[in-house]
Copies of this chain bind each other. A is one copy, B any other.
């Protein structure tokens, strides 16, 4: 059963239940605070859940119970009796008891077991069950193995174990011993992931948990050990996350469902295993589509031509141009009655679609559908090609094209192709990466979208210093490295991505194009009249001090405003255009050796230069 705890979602209890049901969950844990602050009665919660098709699988948490001295012990049992009455009103038969964090608690497993046995006995008298969970910061019991020891000592049929991946993996406990626990003695499994952080486990847990797949915990080892137990009860998310508390409930619930489907797919021998269409083998970004008005057509066409692109075709039935260079295609969409136009109304002139080359587009569509992604089909003319497409989180499209169609048929079918111009290209061969901007509360949603549907991997997180605040950046990359999508978000509203988010509602802000010879390419671009972002001389002075650089190479870089990075894998050269119409910009780059990063060390230099450009153009608010 797919379940989630109400604390994971924002809103009041009815907002939460509605969002949870709509995302397709079957079960819900009622986090007690959500009930206490709700205006309705427990009976009304039961009715609402029923009407939404949700089973209330647990009331939680019941705190600071076991191994207390008197009179707290007696008080605690009275408190339990009251909660049993509440559970009956709610229509749930299960109460989660988490290990005691009180300083008054006694370090005595026998006492803890006796108390839990007594509570279980009382629960059973009401037809109820309880489960015991080790909190990672429990006073005496913080390891699930100790909790399991106590459950065994208590030896009562109405008492079982609750496992939580966060409490297990945050303490770096081994997961192998889970496999030896009989599945029927596990009454509930809670799932949560988290980024790796070196901080106290309570704050980490209360603020930084995330859905499995969004963090860095070894969820696979947890899920595989769990599969060995034969456990077939609910898998339930329990996420405490500051951003989730502030995000729209339906978006969070959808992410939770995606995460759970991914987790179910992690161990083939588990009772809850669900087979999924395989993720695609990717073969690079095939094209980008810009949505433009007539006014921006000339300046962008000028830029494209200056970058060595050539206009090679015109759509047979639509107001759409096709440009090409090397392996790359650029589509300029001027339609006024289309998806592109709708997107333009919200986001302004922008990149409204990307095309990915994948081995089997229909299989990706099937996988995307399993993860509840939205597909898109636009109107097509007679004889034109139908290209499968998904909607990204902010509404732009991802077209999926197999390499063979991509090579030739796609363009020939839909476009009137013209003879190539004589103008030489600039040596730009492929789209290296495309950076997208989103609200910082949504970065994890985008990450999970690309991870679940495309099996992209999350790179390391970078905090980039913009002159007006920090920018968080994390790249999602296809397994073979042919598609790279850095995600950028900033809580600060005056940074480059912060302003882009506020003014243009996010989307693609950067398009990075790769060359095999950045010096020749940049010379060509300059000769063609393409403006490049000015890099301060101070940067090159420092580069000379920091690194052992050939002075001639350094001078060649400085002459061309080329930035540089180097690591043990290789070298990296990058140059930037200014912002086009205060919206998006292009990067020109060359990778040497096996350098796989994005030059994060240079980002503050680039962000400051862009900030100067924006100041000068007078468009800063």
Contact = CB atoms under 8 A, between A and B. Distances in A.
Interface of A: 10-12, 15, 32-33, 35-42, 75, 78-79, 82-83, 86, 197-200, 203, 242, 245-246, 465, 467-470, 491-495, 534, 536-539, 541-542, 544-546, 548, 604-605, 607-609, 611-612
A548 B76 CA distance: 11
B36 A467 contact: no
Contact of A198 (B199, B534, B612): B199
A612 B14 CA distance: 11
A609 B538 contact: no
B468 A36 contact: no
Contacts of A199: 197-200, 203
A37 B467 contact: yes
Contact of A468 (B11, B35, B548): B11
Contacts of A82: 541, 544-545
Contacts of A545: 78-79, 82-83
A12 B245 contact: no
Contact of A42 (B198, B246, B491, B538): B538
- Tell me how many chains of this kind the complex includes: 2
B539 A36 contact: yes
Contacts of A78: 545
A344 to B, nearest CB: 25
A105 to B, nearest CB: 17
A41 B538 contact: yes
A334 B141 CA distance: 62
A32 B604 contact: no
B542 A468 contact: no
Contacts of A32: 542
27 contacts: A10-B469, A33-B465, A33-B604, A36-B536, A36-B542, A36-B605, A37-B536, A37-B539, A37-B605, A37-B609, A38-B536, A38-B538, A39-B536, A40-B536, A41-B537, A75-B548, A82-B541, A82-B545, A198-B199, A199-B200, A199-B203, A242-B469, A245-B470, A245-B492, A246-B470, A246-B491, A246-B494
A604 B10 contact: no
Q: Is the interface of A mostly helix, strand, loop or mixed?
A: helix
B491 A491 contact: yes
A612 B542 contact: no
Contacts of A539: 36-37
Of the candidates A10, A604, A605, the one having the most CB atoms from chain B within 10 angstroms of its own CB is: A10
A499 to B, nearest CB: 12
A51 B39 CA distance: 63
A326 to B, nearest CB: 32
Given A38-B608, A245-B469, A245-B492, 13 more contacts: A12-B467, A15-B467, A36-B538, A36-B539, A36-B605, A38-B536, A38-B538, A40-B536, A79-B546, A83-B545, A246-B470, A246-B492, A246-B493
A35 B604 CA distance: 11
Contacts of A541: 82, 86
A470 B538 contact: no
A462 to B, nearest CB: 13
A85 to B, nearest CB: 9
A608 B246 contact: no
A62 B33 CA distance: 51
Given A36-B605, A198-B199, A545-B83, A611 B12 contact: yes
A15 B620 CA distance: 14
Contacts of A12: 467, 608, 611-612
Nearest to A468: B10
A32 B546 CA distance: 13
Contacts of A75: 548
A494 B75 CA distance: 39
Contact of A39 (B245, B546, B609): B609
A172 to B, nearest CB: 16
A497 to B, nearest CB: 12
Nearest to A544: B82
B468 A245 contact: yes
Nearest to A63: B546
Nearest to A76: B545
A607 to B, nearest CB: 8
Contacts of A245: 465, 468-470, 492
